Structure 1
Amino acid sequence: MPIVVDIDVMLARRKMSVGTLADRVGITPANLAVLKNGRAKAVRFTTLAALCEVLDCQPGDLLRWEPDERVAPATGASRPGSGSAGTPG
C-alpha cells in the first residue's frame, strides 16, 4: 500500500504509549495497532481528527504517500491533450 502511517514517529515524539493514545482517541489498542502497522484499508476522518488532536499534529504528520515498488511505471502511453495527431500544436 503506497500510503504509509507514521503514528510510531508521533508517539515517540510525544513520549506516549499506544495504550494511552488508544484511550485518548477512543479506539481499541488492537484497532490502533492495525492502523499503525499499515494493515488498515481505511480510516475515518473522525478518527484521524482525534489522532491529530491528541498528538497535536496535522494529518500530513501521520500519513504520507510512497510509490508502490511493485507497480512498474507506464511506458509509451500518451496523455490526453499531449499533442496527439489531429490536435493543433
Structure 2
Amino acid sequence: MFSHELSPFGDAATFNAQLEESTGALPNTGGAEVWQRYYQSARLTRGKMMINLDLSATAFYEGGSLVQIDLRSPDDLRRGLSERKLKEL
C-alpha cells in the first residue's frame, strides 16, 4: 500500500508518504504465527527531510478449520516458544 497526503501543520504543510510491506508469516509452536511488517515514512520539515523506518511484529493464531484446531491438545498451546524461536524474534 502506498499513500501520501498533504496536511496543514502549524504554519507550514507536511508531506507524509507511507509504504507498508508484509514479510509473511513465521510459524511458531502452540498454534501461533508471527507476522512482521516494515513501515517507512518521509516528512518534509523546515530545512530538511526526515525518514522514519520501523519494523513491527504481531502474533496471531494459525489459520485453519475449526475442527483441526479443536482436535489439538491444550498442551500444544501451553508450550510457548523454544529458545531458538525467541532468538529469531
Higher relative contact order, structure no. (Cα contacts within 8 Å, ≥ 6 residues apart): 1
**Both structures adopt the same fold (TM-score exceeding 0.5):** no
Given the two structures, how large is their TM-score scaled by the length of structure 1?
Answer: 0.22
When you count helix as a share of all residues, which structure comes out higher? 1
Given the two structures, how large is their TM-score scaled by the length of structure 2?
Answer: 0.22
